Structures are given as structure tokens and as C-alpha cells.
């Protein structure tokens, strides 16, 4: 086998966003595009000579082809071993676990997460380090810098590697080890949760529905929920991973997981419903007739985690991304443990988890996880919920109501304006930045601005700084709004507006969230002039 050194030239725009590099699949399929980015990763981490890497993806269109190219390039760059999920499949949390369990030097995950898949949809790629977590900004900056100067890459000339058969093969001098993508992860879950208690709950007639949305979690959910926990076979639906996710968005929210929502709010609904995203790191939790907002889910999980064996020792701290509601902060306060507020994206939790300062982390975007891996983890959240329900003997709605009566209810909603012209979205944020100083004291729709800033984060572990992470508007009385632009889209810009308002009075805990938040939404419109800048009079997606 010959190692080829291919001449190339820098390709513009290979800047990793919130979670890796995401582009239209056809962009990734352009000559040298994937190769350049792969070589830039290898170079930025100081080469892969003698190293062990993990490789897998969510199975979307081009996953299999990209995996073969990366393997040939890893071999040509001198990697000692690449551990690959069978069929080049690994969920994001399973990849994170595999890196940690095998002591690998890092891993490449092929996914554009909740973005749709297919030749005309999205593809993505991210690098996780030896701790199993997403590359921090310092490294993604280095990778991007390398893409801007790269003039050649190395690749082995060879046939495809057989990735369907478990076991070891060789590619040049490199070992390719194909592993079961599910087994290790399922064992990890079994070590954290009281599977006997969950099994008893299910055996006692508790019915659940897990919608894998034709994405990567299907095989994981079937093994864990059906094979190991005894749920009925039809508890897991849409469990066959498809390259185009069956044409849908594998995004577990009430909009894209509408079928699940309809079922959970319909006649004879199951007791518990959940869905996960393309790469298995997100989760949506639904009870019979009740939707759990992700921010509430984080708070409930944190407040009750000690009921699961893996967290019986208690939590060191709770971390949430800045736009996530402050419901979790109230739990941290009650528990007497630190609460951390980080920029959007799981990479910012890595240091806190590594340093043992946070045990549970979460984001409003349907992401929760803990120090068991260094990624958010959809099935983990489902299992922790089931463990808590089994231990408490309560239903989802009852547990939620109890939580609100103890901590108050934090009404919360996110409004997404998708594929807005980038210059208009940038102009909106830029104008807000310029008016920040004038906002305090202004009254809009009955709400007075108390403070306003552009969130900047100083990492308490390594001191790294991240500025301009989103506009925060705090109103007198405790309501809050956040505006920021997405870093995962592939078309134009997506404006995200996050609305939040705390309600201590139990008489109002059953209010409609949209109504409870209407004054906050009106104040934001008056301040940010979303209609004028985006030309839209309502969001595309509300969660």
C-alpha cells in the first residue's frame, strides 16, 4: 500500500461552530473538503503518529464514505489503532465513553446532530479529546487556523476496510478494530442506574414509548429498554437508523417529534415518552399529557439524582448553559452546591466535569448529561428519569408539580427564527450591543430592564475567556430574555430568543407558558425589533 501526499489548497469557511464543523453534505463531498479538515485536525493535535483514535458517526448519508477516507488518512499519518463502531456507527455519548474507557487519544464523530441528513441536507464532523469531550475553543481555533494554511494531506491508497465484521484488521501498519457500538455503553448505563427497580416498574404495567426518529439511538434503546429492562418490543419506535432519518429532522422537540407528542397527549397514552436526536446526545421527556421543558428536566434530574446508585453520593455542582433557565440554580442553592453558567455548547462543561466541580450539566436545547462521559447523553437522561420515577413511585406530571411547588415554576420558551439573511441577523445583534448601556431603566410592555449585557465567560478552571456569547436582558421582578445567533446552522443565520419568567405562586403553575411569557416576548420585540430586522412576524420553531 502506498502513502500518497496530495497537494491541496486552503478551503475557506472550515470554522468549527457550537459543535464541530457543519456544512451541506455536498460541500463536505467536494474535492479535498473532508480531507483538508481531517488533516487540519491531525496537525492541530500534534499529529496522530502512534496514537489511538475512536471513530464513528450517526449513520447519516456520507457517514460510511467519510469513515473510509478518515481511516486511510489516519493510517497514512501513522496512527497506531483506530477503534470503529460496527458499520462506522457510534452515538456521540457512546463515542465519548469509548474514548475514555479505552484510554484513546481522541476521536472523530461524524454527525450534524439534529440537522436533517441526506445528499441535499447536512453533514458534520467533530473532534473529541482524550477526556472524551468536544475540543475546547483553544483547539478548534488551532484547527481552523491550520485549515487556512494547509497545502497537502496524506492518505493511503487502499481498498475499503470491512467495517461490518467485529474484530481487528490492518490498514497498512495501522490496526482497525471494529467494536459493537452498543455493548459498552449499555453496560455503563447499567452501572449507573437501578435496573432492577426500573425493570420492576415496567413489569408492574408502566408503559413507555421511545422515538428514535430513525437516528442512531434505535439499537441502543432496543438493547437497553427492551432487552435489558423488559419493555414491550413496540416501546421503541422508528428504531431503524436511516441515512436520511426517514426524511425528518431528527430533532427531539414538540415540533419534529410531533407523532410522539400526539400519542402522549392522546387517548390511552403511555406513562412516559421520550425521543432522541440524530447522534443520540439530546432527549425530550414527555409524561402522559404533560411536556417537560428541558430546563425543568435538568432541575428535576439534579434534585433527584441521588436516588440513582451512580449519584447516591450527591452532586459536586450543577452547570447549565447561559440561555438555559435558572430553575437548576434554585436546586443547587437548596443543595448547597455551586451552580455554573457557561456559554452554549457542551465543550464548555468539559473543564468543570474534569475538575470534579460539576456532576450534572444541561442545556435548554434538550441536552442533559453528567460526569459519566463528556458529552450530553439522551438515553442517560431517559434512564435517570425512569430510575427516579421508579424510586419515587410518582408519575411525570406529579413529580413535576411537586418540583414546582417546592421551587416555584420557571416558565420558559425558546423562539427560533431560521434561515434569516445573515446580514440582517448580525445587524440586529450588533444594534443591541450598541444599545446595551441605555437599556437599564427602560420600560417596555410593563417590564423594566434591570440590567443588560453581552455574556462573557471566564472558565474557572483554566482561565480561558469567551466573549460575545449572547445578549442578556434582565427585567425587574426576575424575568429574563436572551438573544443569540446559532452556531450549528448551515443556511443563513438562525436567531434564537430565549424567554424566562419565574412564578412562585402555585395558583399559577398551571398557566399556559405562552401566556405567562407574553409580556416578556412583547418587551423583547420592543427592544430588539425582531420583526423589522428579520421580516418575520413569528418564529419558525417554538420549544
Report the C-alpha gap between 285 and 132 in whole angstroms: 25
Contacting residues for 9 by C-beta, under 8 A, at least 6 apart: 32, 150, 151
**62 three-state secondary structure:** coil
Beta bridge partners, 216, equal none
Report the C-alpha gap between 218 and 58 in whole angstroms: 11
Among 39, 113, 128, 413, binds Co ion (CB under 5 A): 113
Of the pair 77, 325, the CB lying nearest ligand VG1 is at 325
Q: Which of residues 271-290 bind Co ion (CB under 5 A)?
A: 277, 279, 281-282
Question: CB 486 → Co ion: shortest distance, Å?
Answer: 13
Of the pair 117, 519, the CB lying nearest ligand VG1 is at 117
Of the pair 282, 444, the CB lying nearest ligand VG1 is at 282
Beta bridge partners, 417, equal 495
Query: What kind and span of H or E run contains 415?
Result: strand 409-420
* Active-site amino acid positions: 113
Could you list the residues that contact ligand VG1 (CB under 6 A)?
18-19, 113-114, 277, 281-282, 321, 344-346, 363, 365, 367, 486-488, 496
Of the pair 213, 516, the CB lying nearest Co ion is at 213
Beta bridge partners, 136, equal none
Question: CB 206 → ligand VG1: shortest distance, Å?
Answer: 28
Nearest residue to Co ion, scored by beta-carbon proximity: 113
Report the C-alpha gap between 14 and 146 in whole angstroms: 10
Question: CB 422 → ligand VG1: shortest distance, Å?
Answer: 14
Report the C-alpha gap between 73 and 157 in whole angstroms: 9
**Cα–Cα distance list, 128 to 85, 108, 416, 456, 509 (Å):** 15, 6, 28, 24, 41
Question: CB 361 → Co ion: shortest distance, Å?
Answer: 14
Of the pair 25, 486, the CB lying nearest ligand VG1 is at 486
Of the pair 348, 404, the CB lying nearest ligand VG1 is at 348
Q: Rounded to a whole number, what is the largest CA-CA distance in the chain?
A: 73
Question: CB 366 → Co ion: shortest distance, Å?
Answer: 9
Report the C-alpha gap between 182 and 177 in whole angstroms: 15
Report the C-alpha gap between 481 and 523 in whole angstroms: 9
**Chosen from Co ion, ligand VG1, none, partner binding at 329 (C-beta under 5 to 8 Å by type):** none
Of the pair 263, 281, the CB lying nearest Co ion is at 281
Query: Would you state the torsion angle of the CA atoms of residues 181, 187, 188, 189, taken in this order, to the nearest 10 degrees?
Result: 100
Question: What does the block give as the cell for 227?
Answer: 432487552
Report the C-alpha gap between 385 and 300 in whole angstroms: 9
Note whether 305 and 384 are within 8 A (CB).
yes
Report the C-alpha gap between 361 and 302 in whole angstroms: 9
Question: CB 280 → Co ion: shortest distance, Å?
Answer: 7
Quick one: three-class SS letters along 484-510? EECCCCCCCEEEEEEEEEEECCHHHCC
Question: CB 420 → ligand VG1: shortest distance, Å?
Answer: 13
By the criterion CB under 5 A, which residues form the site for Co ion? 113, 277, 279, 281-282
Amino acid at each position: 500500500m502506498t502513502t500518497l501526499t496530495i497537494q491541496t489548497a486552503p478551503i475557506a469557511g472550515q470554522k468549527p461552530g457550537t459543535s464541530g464543523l457543519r456544512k451541506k453534505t455536498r460541500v463536505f463531498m467536494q474535492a479535498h473538503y473532508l480531507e483538508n479538515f481531517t488533516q487540519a485536525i491531525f496537525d492541530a493535535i500534534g499529529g496522530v503518529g502512534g496514537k489511538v483514535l475512536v471513530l464513528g458517526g450517526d449513520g447519516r448519508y456520507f457517514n460510511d464514505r467519510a469513515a473510509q477516507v478518515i481511516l486511510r488518512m489516519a493510517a497514512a499519518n501513522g496512527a497506531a489503532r483506530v477503534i470503529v463502531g460496527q458499520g462506522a456507527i457510534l452515538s456521540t455519548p457512546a463515542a465519548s465513553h469509548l474514548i475514555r474507557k479505552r484510554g484513546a487519544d481522541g476521536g472523530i464523530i461524524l454527525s450534524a446532530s439534529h440537522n436533517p441528513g441526506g445528499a441535499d441536507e447536512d453533514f458534520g464532523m467533530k473532534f473529541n479529546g482524550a477526556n472524551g469531550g468536544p475540543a475546547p475553543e483553544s483547539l478548534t481555533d488551532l484547527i481552523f487556523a491550520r485549515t487556512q494554511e494547509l497545502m497537502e494531506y496524506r492518505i493511503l491508497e487502499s481498498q475499503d476496510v470491512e467495517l461490518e465484521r467485529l474484530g481487528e484488521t490492518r490498514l497498512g501498519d495501522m490496526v482497525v478494530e471494529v467494536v459493537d457500538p452498543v455493548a459498552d455503553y449499555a453496560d455503563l448505563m447499567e452501572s449507573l442506574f437501578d435496573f432492577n427497580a426500573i425493570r420492576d416498574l415496567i413489569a408492574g404495567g408502566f408503559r413507555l414509548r421511545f422515538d428514535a426518529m430513525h437516528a442512531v439511538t434505535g439499537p441502543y434503546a432496543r438493547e437497553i429498554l427492551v432487552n435489558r429492562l423488559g419493555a414491550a418490543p413496540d416501546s421503541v419506535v422508528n428504531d431503524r437508523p436511516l441515512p436520511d432519518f426517514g426524511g425528518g429532522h431528527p430533532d427531539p422537540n414538540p415540533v419534529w417529534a410531533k407523532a410522539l407528542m400526539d400519542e402522549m397527549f392522546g387517548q390511552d397514552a403511555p406513562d412516559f415518552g421520550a425521543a432522541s436526536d440524530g447522534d443520540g446526545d439530546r432527549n425530550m421527556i414527555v409524561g402522559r399529557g404533560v411536556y417537560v421543558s428541558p430546563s425543568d428536566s435538568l432541575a428535576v434530574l439534579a434534585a433527584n439524582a441521588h436516588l440513582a446508585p451512580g449519584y447516591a453520593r450527591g452532586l459536586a455542582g450543577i452547570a447549565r448553559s447561559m440561555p438555559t433557565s435558572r430553575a437548576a440554580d434554585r436546586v443547587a442553592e437548596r443543595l448547597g452546591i455551586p451552580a455554573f453558567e457557561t456559554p452554549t455548547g457542551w465543550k464548555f462543561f468539559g473543564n468543570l466535569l474534569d475538575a470534579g466541580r460539576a456532576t450534572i450539566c444541561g442545556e435548554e436545547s434538550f441536552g442533559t448529561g453528567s460526569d459519566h462521559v463528556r458529552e450530553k447523553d439522551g438515553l442517560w437522561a431517559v434512564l435517570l428519569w425512569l430510575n427516579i420515577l421508579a424510586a419515587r413511585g410518582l408519575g411525570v406530571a406529579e413529580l413535576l408539580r411537586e418540583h414546582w411547588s417546592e421551587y416555584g415554576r420557571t416558565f420558559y420558551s425558546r423562539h427560533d427564527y431560521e434561515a434569516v439573511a445573515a446580514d440582517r441577523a448580525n445587524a440586529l445583534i450588533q444594534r443591541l450591543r450598541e444599545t446595551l448601556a441605555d437599556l437599564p431603566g427602560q420600560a417596555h410592555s410593563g417590564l423594566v430592564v434591570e440590567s443588560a449585557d453581552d455574556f462573557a465567560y471566564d472558565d474557572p478552571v483554566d482561565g480561558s475567556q469567551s466573549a460575545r456569547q449572547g445578549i442578556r436582558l434582565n427585567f425587574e421582578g426576575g424575568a429574563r430574555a436572551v438573544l443569540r445567533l446559532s452556531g450549528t446552522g448551515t443556511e443563513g443565520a438562525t436567531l434564537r430568543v430565549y424567554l424566562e419568567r419565574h412564578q412562585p405562586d402555585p395558583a399559577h403553575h398551571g398557566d399556559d407558558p405562552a401566556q405567562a411569557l407574553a409580556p416578556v416576548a412583547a418587551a423583547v420585540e420592543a427592544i430588539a425589533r425582531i420583526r423589522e430586522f428579520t421580516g418575520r412576524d413569528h418564529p419558525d420553531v417554538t420549544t
